[in-house]
Amino acid sequence: MHKFTLGIEEEFQILDSDTLQLRSQMSKIIEGGKVHLQERIKEEMHQSIVEMGTNVCENINQARDEVSYLRQQVIALAAEEGLKVGASGTHPFSLWDEQLITNAPRYDEIVNEMGDVARGNLIFGMHVHVAIPNRQEGLDILNVARYFLPHLYALSTNSPFWEGRDTGFKSYRSKVFDKFPRTGIPPFFNSIQEYDKFVEILVKTRCLDNTKKIWWDIRLHPFFPTVEFRICDVVMTVDEVTCIAALMQCIVAKIYKLHQKNQTFKSYRRLLLNENKWRAARWGIDAKLIDFGKEEEVPFHQLMNELLEFIDDVVDGLGCRKEVNYVYQMIEQGAGADRQLQVYKDTGDLRKVADYVVQQTAKGL
């Protein structure tokens, strides 16, 4: 039986302890952390972002331990420099044009190529890797898993504010990232040969130098034998991280299980899937998503129940029943965006929102 190992990457905000503004102090935190965290702490294009990534985890319990440990470490490293750390897809009020860009050839190249689209990409995501048996199977899994991306995305929505404004979106992060090329839900590919030919043309015509510059919401990772889910905002709490990661692991395992029996799940056109993604960005878990089988709108929780039924026969084998069931609590308490908006409604103060994000980032550690 294939082992669906996991890896989780989270991008965190580096904040001034007093003003809770973003601070371009990543290098101080990286220098402090490299000694014992090594490759698990990484720089990002903006110096007010720090990325933490787990080792390969055998199961969701190990992933929870790693995510908790890395959050503890980055919070401690920041505190040593008089800084705080927050997990939200956008900052409530900091301005992108006041943030410094990391001095590195890769980032210089992206900024030279894309200008203010790159400079303004001040967003924070969570990426989850799930191991695949081989690239062709990985592509087949990717083709089917695209359908569930808006479900996962709605749960993760955690970026309602941008530069001091309530945007009206539960996830404005994706609207910022949409300006990049090669983003969004990927197209359907019939074979790995077709996919490789597509990449070959892009490399040949200098659209990209390697497939890391394909920034789709889900992709075959260019260097690791994984499917990488990239659609989610970084979420506030460890409980939310492990719930969403467990759902992703179960989706991959279930699609693989169907393929082993020569069965599959119906594939839908990207144009249709994009309708659900837009609704998830705008309304989060309050959205009415489209059930394409029935060709009608249904409340988000109804489609989520269908997803839970779909994966039910693989959950216990993966040992993640508790994590998967946390989805009910997420729906009840609201996604990160809902909770941020409630704090703003109660206080009218975006600094209080940022402070709430900081508190939630450390919750349960």
Residue 49 lies inside a defined structural domain of this protein? yes
Among residues 47, 12, 46, 40, which one has the least CA distance to residue 26?
A: 47
Task: Tell me the C-alpha distance between 95 and 325, whole Å.
Answer: 37
Task: Tell me the C-alpha distance between 314 and 1, whole Å.
Answer: 12
| Least confident window among 18-22, 103-107, 152-156 | 103-107
* Higher-scoring residue by pLDDT: 180, 299: 299
| Residue pointed to by tokens 């394909």 | 214
The tally of domains found in the chain comes to: 1
Express each pLDDT in 282-295 by its tens digit: 999 999 999 998 99
Mean predicted confidence (pLDDT) in 49-74: 97
Residue 230 lies inside a defined structural domain of this protein? yes
Structure tokens at 301: 């929780």
Task: Tell me the C-alpha distance between 91 and 20, whole Å.
Answer: 10
Model confidence at 114, pLDDT cuts 50, 70, 90, reads confident
Mean predicted confidence (pLDDT) in 99-113: 88
Q: What is the pLDDT of residue 158?
A: 98
Mean predicted confidence (pLDDT) in 302-324: 97
Q: What is the pLDDT of residue 190?
A: 93
Please check the confidence at residue 31 and state whether its pLDDT lies above 90: no
**Residue 231's domain is classified under what CATH number?**
3.30.590.20
Task: Tell me the C-alpha distance between 340 and 173, whole Å.
Answer: 14
* Higher-scoring residue by pLDDT: 347, 114: 347
Please check the confidence at residue 211 and state whether its pLDDT lies above 80: no
Task: Tell me the C-alpha distance between 183 and 174, whole Å.
Answer: 9
Element (H, E) at 356: helix 350-361
Mean pLDDT of the chain: 94
Task: Give strand ranges (E) for the chain.
Answer: 6-16, 41-43, 49-53, 83-86, 125-131, 161-162, 165-166, 183-184, 215-216, 218-220, 226-233, 288-291, 296-299
| Least confident window among 111-115, 184-188, 270-274 | 111-115
Please check the confidence at residue 210 and state whether its pLDDT lies above 80: no
Residue 20 lies inside a defined structural domain of this protein? yes
Complete DSSP assignment for 6-67: EEEEEEEEEEETTT--B---HHHHHHHHHHHHGGGEEE-SBTTEEEEE---BSSHHHHHHHH
Distances (CA, A) of 35 to 65, 90, 233: 20, 29, 28
Q: Are 23 and 74 in contact (CB under 8 A)?
A: no
Q: What is the pLDDT of residue 33?
A: 84
| Least confident window among 41-45, 223-227, 324-328 | 41-45
Express each pLDDT in 261-277 by its tens digit: 999 888 888 999 999 99
Please check the confidence at residue 191 and state whether its pLDDT lies above 90: yes
Q: Which domain holds residue 82?
A: 6-361
Residue 1 lies inside a defined structural domain of this protein? no
Please check the confidence at residue 1 and state whether its pLDDT lies above 70: no
Please check the confidence at residue 246 and state whether its pLDDT lies above 80: yes
Q: What is the pLDDT of residue 352?
A: 98
Structure tokens at 276: 């659900």
Express each pLDDT in 134-148 by its tens digit: 999 999 999 999 999
Q: What is the pLDDT of residue 207?
A: 87
Express each pLDDT in 215-244 by its tens digit: 999 999 888 899 999 999 999 999 999 999
* Higher-scoring residue by pLDDT: 35, 117: 117
Q: What is the pLDDT of residue 26?
A: 87
Model confidence at 212, pLDDT cuts 50, 70, 90, reads confident
Length of the chain: 365
